[in-house]
């Protein structure tokens, strides 16, 4: 009984200290509040990764915490490339937008013109359906096809030989779909006449000066980049690194610095017009009139400051988050490589810090 009372007393002290810690932090300038929060997650949640926070277009906090490669005794820096996983979809959608503006494709093109081998299924699907996850195609992760080393060509071969019909009529439902974005990357190659990795490099990275962003492709020297972050399990004792060779749905490495460069470019017309971007930031409307909170490669939402454009990315040991509060030009970028499961929790507190709202640190 005495031990139970002591335990309760110690727990009360701990929880009270967290509450006081959060209250004290909330009185500090925003950069110091954010640093206190990141320190808490580093100490209590084993956070290992990079963070960049901007307010009204200006960076107010950036930090690199932990290891990129333990075997090589290599720590993280702000320029360290992380595997983005599904945040790569924003890049793929941007590639399609670039080709659309050049008049080389149309969002409502039937994909049969690019993939006749897919038969009647392809006749009912448009590029827009692929962009908005309304194609009805099978997701290759759900099919169990995500074996190590899988390439786009191999995946397409599986699609041709797969006799399963569409899961629903295109445009009638929203269902997040990695297969569709692989097909979009193949369309980019077919229309542009160059590999997807070269298109991303030539049309996005080089014009913007994104020096640490590249597609993980067998044909690219960056694939063997010794500075990239290696994926790990949460205890950092076992690797859990990126293992696929597909791109379009994933496949891109980037840093917090480069993602912020992209963020700033998307407030201008350096890549595509603002009108094109506005369409990309518009939620999908299904055939029955219902809307879903996804545009072209971005999740669409709203908070106290207006519209938010965001995407998560997670595979192997990588867990990432990229949010753009476009009406006020606030940015939250979190890239991690140790299977961190607290990204959403961190984001929710960071939003409160930016808003000037009260918050508390989570319990241990």
Which residues are designated catalytic? 86
Q: Which two tokens stand for residue 196?
A: 């997807």
Separation of alpha carbons 323 and 52, rounded Å = 11
Q: Three-state SS for 87?
A: helix
Return the bridge partners of 292, or none.
284
Question: In the chain, how long is the greatest CA-to-CA distance?
Answer: 77
Separation of alpha carbons 98 and 272, rounded Å = 6
Separation of alpha carbons 176 and 305, rounded Å = 27
Separation of alpha carbons 271 and 266, rounded Å = 8
Query: Based on C-alpha coordinates, what's the Rg of the chain?
Result: 22
Return the bridge partners of 334, or none.
51, 321
Torsion, Cα of 176, 179, 180, 183 (10° steps): 160
Q: Which two tokens stand for residue 213?
A: 């962003």
191 contacts: CB under 8 Å, gap ≥ 6:
99, 104, 105
64 contacts: CB under 8 Å, gap ≥ 6:
50, 75, 76, 77, 78, 80
Name the DSSP class of 139. Answer: P
Determine contact, residues 253/82, Cβ cutoff 8 Å. Answer: yes
């Amino acid at each position: 009984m005495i031990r139970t009372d002591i335990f309760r007393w110690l727990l009360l002290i701990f929880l009270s200290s967290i509450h006081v810690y959060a209250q004290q932090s909330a009185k500090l300038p925003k950069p110091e509040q954010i640093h206190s929060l990141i320190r808490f997650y580093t100490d209590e949640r084993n956070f290992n990764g990079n963070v960049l926070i901007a307010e009204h277009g200006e960076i107010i906090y950036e930090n690199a915490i932990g290891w990129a490669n333990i075997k090589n005794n290599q720590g993280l820096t702000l320029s360290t490339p992380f595997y983005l996983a599904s945040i790569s979809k924003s890049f793929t959608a941007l590639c399609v937008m670039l080709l659309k503006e050049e008049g080389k494709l149309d969002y409502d093109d039937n994909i049969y013109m690019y993939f006749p081998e897919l038969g009647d299924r392809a006749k009912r699907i448009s590029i827009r359906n692929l962009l908005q996850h309304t194609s009805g195609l099978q997701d290759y992760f759900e099919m169990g096809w995500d074996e190590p080393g899988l390439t786009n060509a191999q995946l397409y071969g599986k699609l041709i030989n797969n006799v399963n019909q569409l899961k629903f009529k295109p445009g009638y439902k929203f269902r997040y779909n990695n297969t569709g974005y692989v097909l979009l990357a193949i369309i980019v190659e077919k229309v542009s006449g160059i590999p997807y990795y070269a298109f991303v490099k030539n049309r996005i990275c080089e014009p913007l000066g994104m020096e640490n962003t590249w597609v993980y492709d067998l044909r690219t020297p960056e694939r063997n980049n010794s500075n990239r972050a290696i994926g790990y399990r949460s205890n950092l004792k076992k690797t859990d690194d990126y293992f696929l060779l597909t791109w379009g749905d994933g496949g891109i490495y980037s840093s917090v610095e480069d993602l912020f460069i992209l963020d700033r470019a998307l407030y201008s017309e350096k890549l595509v017009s603002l009108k094109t971007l506005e369409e990309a930031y518009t939620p999908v409307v299904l055939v029955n009139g219902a809307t879903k909170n996804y545009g072209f490669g971005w999740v669409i939402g709203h908070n106290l400051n207006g519209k938010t454009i965001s995407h998560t990315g997670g595979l192997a040991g990588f867990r990432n988050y990229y949010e753009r509060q476009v009406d006020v030009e606030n940015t939250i970028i979190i890239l991690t490589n140790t299977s961190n499961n607290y990204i959403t929790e961190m984001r929710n507190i960071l939003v409160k810090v930016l808003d000037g709202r009260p918050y508390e640190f989570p319990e241990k």
